[in-house]
Structure 1
Amino acid sequence: MELKERLALESVRVIPSAQPPHREAPQVSPQRRMEWVELALQHEPALVADDRELRRAGPSYTHDTLAALREEFPDRPLVLLLGDDAANQFHTWHRWREIIELAHLVFVERPYEPPAPAPELVAHLRGRRAQSNADFSQQLAGLWTSANIPPLAISSTRVRRLLKAGRSVRGLVPESVIASFTQKDISLLTYDEDPATD
């Protein structure tokens, strides 16, 4: 929500990946993860749960998702929000050079994970850095910037470890999502996780 306000975005779409191409598929089904996204966002009208990757066959390529959004919103700037750790692997993504022609990129700084973008990405983005957030509204795509937000001690690994240890995740996960957890959900979420010791 903070980035939405800072970047003056009309809305932010949260799009769960159905078939992540760069990592092993999550234990929890895409449909169940989508239910959690909908529960988490139900009181945030500017945050939109978008199931387009679940409805599309094949790997969940960011390029394909942005191409579909561009068709849907041909005259509206699109902004892709990414953790800055994504910059480290961005050059391995499907049709990665074309992604910046479909959307602006915002690499969100994460504490303890300094970005180390590949030289080919650095070269491709040279001369495209936005001078201000207002620049994103002046063209449909093609710019990038980095952003930092106050760090929160929240990570999916921490949540899974706390669940495995039978400890509370209140304050880390929306109450509506916690209330929906079944024993099967917790079992799938904590598969192969070491219990939390903090």
Structure 2
Amino acid sequence: MKRIGILGGTFDPPHMGHLLIAEEVREELDLDGIWFIPSYEPPHKQQARVDSKARVEMVERAISGNSYFRINTIEVNRLGKSYTFDTMKALNDEHPDAEFYFIIGADMVEYLPHWKHIDALLDLVTFVGVKRKGYELKANYSILEVDVPLIELSSTDIRQRVLEHKSVRYMVTSGVEAYLKEKRLYEER
């Protein structure tokens, strides 16, 4: 049975924090790989700043060079809002030989009671919680905890830095940084 970590998100843009979390969880839990799943339209956030095609390209650039990482575009292909339950149901049906570990930050752990079909979802995945500043990993659900180095990065802050023409070097991979510049993403027009 393959053991696959799932890291979902808007990835608007993907940054080094995403990669660090994925690698630490993969290593700590001895997973066979991590699948990055960009959302088409996040159910609990405002709409992404750039289209899904650009976000998929940025994830591909961000994860290149790590043979354990791959992208899965199930939610982008579905269009509209995607809920974790629907995604994980489809992935379990497509990959009956896999055991899935869904990685979430402590901010999402607190929100779990509000997730669509949370009780049924717990039968489809094992949740893996990672620390996030300002949040505690407390839930009424069974969650594996993995300690990862805390670094203060957010896609929101990176977008703001790009808007202010500040460097995002070492916050995103060089491939993502080049793409941001090439496509002039997040710059005011």
Query: How far apart, in 2, do the equivalents of 1:100 and 1:159 lie?
Result: 33
CA offset digits 1:112-157 (Å, max 9, x no partner): 223454xxxx1xx2xxx4xxxxxxxxxxxxxx21222111132212
Match of 1:4 among 26, 39, 64: 26
Matches within 5 A, 1:52-67: 52-67=74-89
Q: Kindly state the Cα deviation for residue 165 of structure 1 after the two structures are TM-superposed.
A: 1.9
Match of 2:36 among 7, 14, 17: 14
SS state at 2:61 partner: helix
Query: How far apart, in 1, do the equivalents of 2:28 and 2:136 lie?
Result: 22
Could you tell me whether the CA contact under 8 Å between 1:110 and 1:148 is conserved in 2?
no
SS state at 1:107 partner: strand
Query: How far apart, in 1, do the equivalents of 2:183 and 2:77 lie?
Result: 27
Could you tell me whether the CA contact under 8 Å between 2:62 and 2:173 is conserved in 1?
yes
Identify unmatched segments of 5+ residues in structure 2: 1-22
Match of 2:100 among 63, 71, 78: 78
SS state at 2:35 partner: strand
Q: CA RMSD in A?
A: 1.8
Could you tell me whether the CA contact under 8 Å between 2:39 and 2:82 is conserved in 1?
yes
Letter in structure 2 aligned against 1:92: H
Q: Runs ≥4 in structure 1, deviation > 2 angstroms?
A: 111-117
1:110 aligns with 2:132: yes
Letter in structure 1 aligned against 2:84: T
Ranked by relative contact order (alpha carbons within 8 Å, sequence separation 6 or more), the top structure is 2
Could you tell me whether the CA contact under 8 Å between 2:37 and 2:72 is conserved in 1?
yes
SS state at 1:186 partner: coil
Percent identical: 28
TM-score relative to the length of structure 2:
0.81
SS state at 2:102 partner: strand
1:158 counterpart residue number = 157
2:12 counterpart residue number = none
Letter in structure 2 aligned against 1:171: Y
CA offset digits 1:10-63 (Å, max 9, x no partner): 000000010211122112111111110011111111011111111114321111
Q: Kindly state the Cα deviation for residue 187 of structure 1 after the two structures are TM-superposed.
A: 2.3
Letter in structure 1 aligned against 2:81: P
Q: Kindly state the Cα deviation for residue 78 of structure 1 after the two structures are TM-superposed.
A: 0.9
How many residues align? The count is 166
1:34 aligns with 2:56: yes
SS state at 1:102 partner: coil
Identify unmatched segments of 5+ residues in structure 1: 130-143, 192-198
Query: How far apart, in 1, do the equivalents of 2:167 and 2:86 lie?
Result: 38
Could you tell me whether the CA contact under 8 Å between 2:49 and 2:186 is conserved in 1?
no
Query: How far apart, in 1, do the equivalents of 2:134 and 2:79 lie?
Result: 35
Q: Kindly state the Cα deviation for residue 68 of structure 1 after the two structures are TM-superposed.
A: 1.3
Query: How far apart, in 1, do the equivalents of 2:138 and 2:103 lie?
Result: 17
More strand by share: 2
